[in-house]
Amino acid sequence: MSIWQTKSWGKFLVSSGQAEEVFNVDWIQVEKRRVAMWEYGLFVLWVAEPPSSLIRENLEQLCKQKNCLFIQVETLNYIPLLTKEGLGVVEWGWKQDYYKKFITPYTAVIDLTQSEDEILAAMKPKGRYNIKLARKKWVEVMQSDNSERDIKAYYNLMQETTSRDSFAGNSIEYYKKFLTQNKSSKLLLAKQDNVVIAAGIFIFDTEVSIYYYGASTSQKEYRNLMAPYLLQWEAISIAKNSWSKLYDFLGVATPGDKNSSLAWVTSFKKKLTPDIRKVSNSYIYVNKKLKYSFIQILRKIKK
């Protein structure tokens, strides 16, 4: 089961203000989130390809009962890219589209059933070199006890990262709740001379471990230490020791998309694994078609 279908995840979403409510339809967890113009949308983050038509009808009924604008399902399936088309599209009865993506269609993964030597051998030479360089420069990685000081250090790095790379972050309270309410989550800190220069929040699970959030310093004297590479290697080792079968880097650019906002982070992740997979398709059932169309027009104008 994916973390996104656990009860603890649902409670975290509500307590952190990410979702208004969380419902269960059959065994499926459904998130109710505010979207636009005083409307709500329902979101499902799935673990495989679409379910039976009966469950689909129950989801549609929930959308109508809750008077929501739409219900969106994102699949999650780690089938390898066996063809150029990758993950196939299953006939759903819903439009293959989305209002907001939570699961990036493509991701980079590592098969953790391999030995550490095999995982290292599959990396690009630069990836292996950077791990060794960080060790040579006396970078050390430690697991945090989620102390106020450690979370503050992580948050400060995240603010540096979001400012440098131009993307939105979350509040420090959000990260505190993420770490305390999701029992499988852990904060790892990479340090040199007791200075935190890179950090990450990870999910360690017996099925799939996930690199969820990452941050690193913008200070020039630390940038050449390659701490993020050693941080990832330590996380991969922890995931193997947690009996995870797969390590998910959680999102890369669509192959061939040279203008993707994920281009830089994709380059980083591909130095650590060659295994790129399409894992997600999106489907949507629109309950209020006219209002949904109007909102979509307004969103395009704002862009």
Radius of gyration for the alpha carbons in the chain, expressed in angstroms and rounded: 20
Which residues have CB under 8 Å from 174's CB, separation 6+? Answer: 16
Which residues have CB under 8 Å from 145's CB, separation 6+? Answer: none
Q: Name the packing angle between helices 148-165 and 172-181 (round to 10°).
A: 120
Q: What is the pLDDT of residue 148?
A: 97
* pLDDT digit string, tens, across residues 179-215: 999 999 999 999 999 999 999 999 999 899 999 999 9
pLDDT tens sequence for the chain (303 residues): 689 999 999 999 999 999 999 999 988 999 999 999 999 999 999 877 666 788 889 999 999 999 999 999 998 988 764 444 445 555 567 899 999 999 999 999 999 999 999 999 999 999 999 999 999 999 999 999 999 999 999 999 999 988 887 777 899 999 999 999 999 999 999 999 999 999 999 999 989 999 999 999 989 899 999 999 999 999 999 999 999 999 999 999 999 888 898 999 999 999 999 999 999 989 999 999 999 999 999 999 987
Return the structure tokens found at 8.
């603890």
Q: What is the pLDDT of residue 49?
A: 64
Separation between Cα atoms, residue 273 and residue 168, nearest integer Å: 26
CATH superfamily of 108-278: Gcn5-related N-acetyltransferase (GNAT) (3.40.630.30)
Q: What is the pLDDT of residue 169?
A: 84
Q: Using a cut of 0.85, tell me whether the model's pTM lies above it.
A: yes
Dihedrals φ, ψ of 143, to 5°? -90, 130
Q: What is the CATH number of domain 3-103+280-302?
A: 3.40.630
SS (H, E, C) the chain: CCHHHCHHHHHHHHHCCCCCEEEEECCEEEEEEECCCCCEEEEEECCCCCCCHHHHHHHHHHHHHCCCCEEEEECCCCCCCCCCCCCCCCCCCCECCCCCCCCCCEEEEEECCCCHHHHHHHCCHHHHHHHHHHHHCCCEEEECCCCHHHHHHHHHHHHHHHHHHCCCCCCHHHHHHHHHHCCCEEEEEEEECCEEEEEEEEECCCCEEEEEEEEECCCHHHHCCCHHHHHHHHHHHHHHHCCCCEEECCCECCCCCCCCCCHHHHHHHHCCCCCEEECCCEEEEECCHHHHHHHHHHHHHHC
Q: What is the pLDDT of residue 92?
A: 67
Looking at the chain, which residues constitute the CATH 3.40.630.30 domain(s)? 108-278
